[in-house]
Structure 1
Amino acid sequence: MDIRKGLAIERERHGRDSGELRRLLNSLECKQDAYTKSMILHSITRCVYLLESEASGCTNDDVTLVGSMLDDKDNSVKIQALNTLKAFSGIRKFRLKIQEHSIKVLELISTIWDSELHIAGLRLLNNFPLPDFVHPQLRRVMPALMEILQSDYILAQVQAIRLLSSLAQKNDLLYDILNCQVHCNFLNLFQSTQPGSLLFEVLVFAERLSEGRSSPHYRAVKWHYNKQSLHEALFGDDSRLADRLLALVIHPEEDVQIQACKVIVSLQCPQDAGIRPSCPPSHSCFNNGE
């Protein structure tokens, strides 16, 4: 297979269509066992990345065929289909078609506890802007996203926090995120012992939440949060977030240090200049409990 791929790439380099990608897509239409389908999808993914002109010559029907594999009973087939859709999402003309599968992907992520599936699904969702029509589904799966964030699988956690950070910038989803229930040890995500890649993303998330809740649009409403909510864990009167942030200011990784400082600034200087025109140097807004 690798030799054939090499020959296909060589033919494309000389301006000739190898036909390899089309052959694989045609074989996917035939009845295959789960292992064979997984291998075909894996090969299609590689071809999409390596055979650019052939991939661009594919059609929406090809993407739909790959998307239909998300309904397969075998998780390995689902995972490979998600990877293939992500590969196709790098081609602009297929993005709208792939967005049609967003709700299905969210359903898979929220109903199947499989770290590899979570990683593949979240990577796909993070690869393009989610359309507004999926927001109701996003509200329903928010608890699942928060559970993935608090799991022990670093790659899945990083992908989950990236998606949540993006969603935190949506006015109509911010409250749903802040009121989402979290574990009592949620602030462990801010411990200096966490991998730097995860710490950085968690800090970006905290900064966006802080900025969002301080915006005039959000402050115009009196929100109520449950006691175990993300809001209370981060911004409640009893939150220990300030202590965690101060410890991260001396973190060995510079990007973590800088991002921790950004969160501190966002907490001390609310974005709503109309309500708080200045930030008194002697006053800390870490635990203002809004």
Structure 2
Amino acid sequence: MGKTIARCLEQLDLRKSFVGLATGAGAIYLLYKAIRASLKCQPPLCSNSPICIARLAIERERHGRDSGEIRRLLNSLECKQDEYTRSMILHSITRCVYLLEAEASNCTMDDINLVADMLDDKNNSVKIQALNALKAFSGIRKFRLKIQEHCIKVLELISTIWDMELHVAGLRLLNNLPLPDYVHPQLRRVMPSLMEIIQSDCILAQVQAVRLLSYLAQKNDLLYDILNCQTSQPGSLLFEVLVFAERLSEGRNATHYRAVKWHYNEQSLHEALFGDESRLADRLLSLVIHPEEEVQIQACKVIVSLQCPQDLGSRPSACQPSHSYFKTGE
């Protein structure tokens, strides 16, 4: 009887050991998963330093294998992070794309969409870093069509948020892409915002806005389309564009401008507006009968400015129209 009891106790102890071992193993496994998930959601410390990323680029050149840095950053971006961390991760992705371009080329379209999703973030800093990251990816040919799909969203941000850093980032991205035709209607709608940016105090934003206008002028005659006789165009928009055209025209008569011998590309905004083949003045004539008086007056101002010889630019009264449509009886 005693032996039977002893045997039962031994079996019970053995079962307890097995249960304890299984429970311990399970706890260790769960702890491992938690640590692994935590590490996955934390951006690599190395990514915070451009020097470290440069070292990764050098190592890749030497050994021909990916560092995995971009992949780790993208994985961490998928996890729930605070605004500052999201912004820093995107900033690090931008650096990595530039310094590890061959490695960045192995990313997928889903990765591009993941970065683009950050454009909907509530924090402007995150939006700006996402725009910078997309611009970095746009330097890789295979991603351009995918990034183009988000152009309308970028235009929406530029036109609805007054943040110069965001304007610069968004415009840089747009200027780095061949814009598809379906984006042009949205471009027409954001023209007032572009005019405001050009009149701002931020030189970087001004430059990028003018570059976008230049692209539009040479690609689809958008500026001419706005300066036409269609009364459906908002008068306020026409007026702002006419003021912009007048200031550009008058700027040609400035002393410091005339002191330099400028050379313009045939497809530049300057040639589109003021070149020998420009028909800007002819198109402006149709606005002289626009329903809104301020548009009529501003159109006349631009026409007169266009007809002023540069050597008489400081004396408006001496400007003499040279085109036949200003002659009496014609």
Deviations 1:150-195 (A, max 9, x none): 111111000000000110124462334436332886455625679x
Q: Residue by residue, what CA displacement relative to the aligned partner does 1:105-129 show, whole Å, maximum 9, x if unpaired?
A: 0000000011100000000000011
- Secondary structure in 2 matching 1:134: helix
Contact 2:287 2:299 in 1 (8 A): no
Match of 2:299 in 1: 232
Largest Rg, 1 or 2:
2
My pick for the range that moved more, 204-213 or 104-113, is 204-213
Q: Residues 219-262 of structure 1: CA distance to partner in whole angstroms, max 9, x if unpaired?
A: 7998436544898387423x37847x5599xxxxxxxxxxxxxx
2:218 pairs with 1:169 = yes
CA distance in 1, matches of 2:140, 2:172: 15
Matched, 1:182 2:247: no
Answer whether contact 1:174 1:209 (CA < 8 A) is retained: no
In structure 2, the CA distance between the partners of 1:137 and 1:163, relative to structure 1 (3 Å rule), is: same
Identify the residue that residue 79 of structure 2 maps to in structure 1. Answer: 30
Maintained 8 Å contact 1:60/1:94: yes
In structure 2, what is the Cα distance between the partners aligned to 1:117 and 1:214? 35
1:68-115 deviation line (CA, Å, top 9, x unaligned): 000000000100000000000000000000000000000000000111
Matched with 1:208 is 272
Query: How far did residue 135 of structure 1 move?
Result: 1.1
Structure 1 residues 165-174 or 66-75, which shifts more? Answer: 165-174
Q: In the alignment, which residue of structure 1 is the partner of 2:114?
A: 65
Alignment check: 8 A CA contact 1:63 1:85 kept:
yes
Partner Cα distance (1:206, 1:108) in 2: 28
Give the structure with the larger helix fraction: 2
C-alpha separation in 2, matches of 1:229 and 1:124: 36
Paired residues of 2:70 and 2:103 also in contact (CA < 8 A): yes
1:10 and 2:58 aligned: yes
Partners of 1:220 and 1:192 in 2: how far apart?
28
Q: Which structure 2 residue ranges, 5 or more long, are not aligned?
A: 1-47, 229-237, 314-319
Indicate if the aligned counterparts of 1:102 and 1:134 stay in contact, CA closer than 8 A.
yes
The amino acid that maps onto 2:213 is L
**1:139 Cα shift?**
1.0
Please give the TM-score of this superposition, normalised by the length of structure 2. Answer: 0.64
Give distance in 2, aligned partners of 1:142 and 1:112: 14
Question: Match for 1:151: what amino acid?
Answer: S
Give the alignment's Cα RMSD to 1 decimal: 3.8
- Which structure's relative contact order is higher, taking Cα pairs within 8 Å and 6+ residues apart? 1
**Structure 2: how far apart are the matches of 1:45 and 1:222?**
48
Matched, 1:143 2:192: yes
- Map residues 1-290 of structure 1 onto 2, 5 A cutoff: 1-2=48-49, 3-14=51-62, 15-171=64-220, 173-178=222-227, 180-182=238-240, 186=244, 187-188=246-247, 190=251, 191=254, 204-210=268-274, 214=279, 223-224=286-287, 227-228=294-295, 232=299, 235-237=302-304, 239=305, 242=308, 246=311, 284=322
Unaligned runs of 5+ in 1: 249-281
Q: Give the partner amino acid of 1:154.
A: I
Task: Provide the rounded CA distance (Å) in 2 between the counterparts of 1:208 and 1:193.
Answer: 22
Distance between the aligned counterparts of 1:77 and 1:230, measured in 2?
A: 44
Q: Which residue of 1 aligns with 2:9?
A: none
Q: Secondary structure at the match of 1:46?
A: helix
Measure, in 2, the Cα distance between the counterparts of 1:164 and 1:27. Answer: 38
Retained in 2: the 8 A contact 1:119–1:156? yes
Alpha-carbon distance in 2 for matches of 1:188, 1:172: 20
- Secondary structure of the residue aligned to 2:239 is coil
Counterpart of 1:7, as a letter, is: R
- Identity over aligned pairs, percent: 61
Change (3 A) 1:23 1:152: same
CA displacement at 1:284 relative to structure 2: 4.4
AA of the residue aligned to 2:299 = E
Distance 2:184 2:158 in 1: 15
